[in-house]
Copies of this chain bind each other. A is one copy, B any other.
Amino acid sequence: MSSDRIIQVERDILSKNDKLAAANRARFRADDALAFNLVSSPGAGKTSLLVRAVSDLKDTFPIGVIEGDQQTSNDAERIRATGVPAVQINTGKGCHLDAAMVAEAYDRLPWLNGGILFIENVGNLVCPAAFDLGEACKIVVFSTTEGEDKPLKYPDMFAVSSLMLINKIDLAPVLDFNLAQTIEYARRVNPKIEVLTVSARTGEGMATFYAWIRKQSSRMNAATLRAVSG
């Protein structure tokens, strides 16, 4: 098989996904729902972070969660234990969520009018970078245990993310972790990326993350008002 044919198929897949992602985005906008696509390596702590965040925010916003994993429904069960609705997607051999999967899962969540949709992607620092799900923005969760050089070695993911949440900051003292170096590398591939440090385990920094979420929510509402009054 020629590599031209492979490239054509890849283009077709991405172009079809982009159309479905645009439809998701229009739908989230119509529902005033703010959608975040959480991406990371396996084990960076996305689910633990979400369990804490949805517990703390569920009385302020309607919240729904879409969980992506190759196998198991462990993550959706952990979210549901907080009382927040969650839909699990199992990708099987698949290495990322796509816009079609998200559209189908969104149908199975209650109406998130004015609320927040958290989408937890498959743990993979490569493939999910290329697939728009219709989210307002991507949040890359990066843990202190992974080593400072990852933004340079996996640049696509950091280039497409709006926020880098550096998790497991409570472990930084026992590791040889250099925070300033990590931020410098991330900004080398994406000068605009915002950075917050958190610990899903201890709760350190989470209030600042919630303030960031509220800022995105106000921005979206202001944009909607401008569009309506426009």
Contacts and interface: CB of A to CB of B under 8 A. Distances in A.
Interface of A: 1, 5-6, 9, 12-13, 16, 41-43, 69-72, 74, 93-95, 122-127, 130, 143, 145-147, 149-150, 152-156, 168, 171, 174-175
B9 A154 contact: no
Given A42-B153, A123-B154, 20 more contacts: A1-B9, A1-B16, A6-B9, A41-B41, A42-B146, A42-B150, A43-B146, A69-B153, A70-B126, A70-B155, A74-B152, A93-B156, A94-B126, A95-B124, A95-B127, A124-B124, A124-B127, A145-B145, A145-B171, A171-B175
21 contacts: A1-B12, A5-B9, A6-B9, A6-B13, A41-B42, A41-B125, A42-B150, A43-B147, A69-B153, A70-B126, A70-B153, A70-B155, A70-B156, A71-B153, A72-B149, A74-B152, A95-B95, A95-B124, A123-B154, A171-B174, A171-B175
A1 to B, nearest CB: 4
A74 to B, nearest CB: 6
Contacts of A9: 1, 5-6, 9
A62 to B, nearest CB: 28
10 nearest CB pairs, A to B: A43-B146, A145-B145, A95-B126, A1-B12, A41-B42, A41-B41, A42-B125, A9-B9, A69-B153, A43-B147
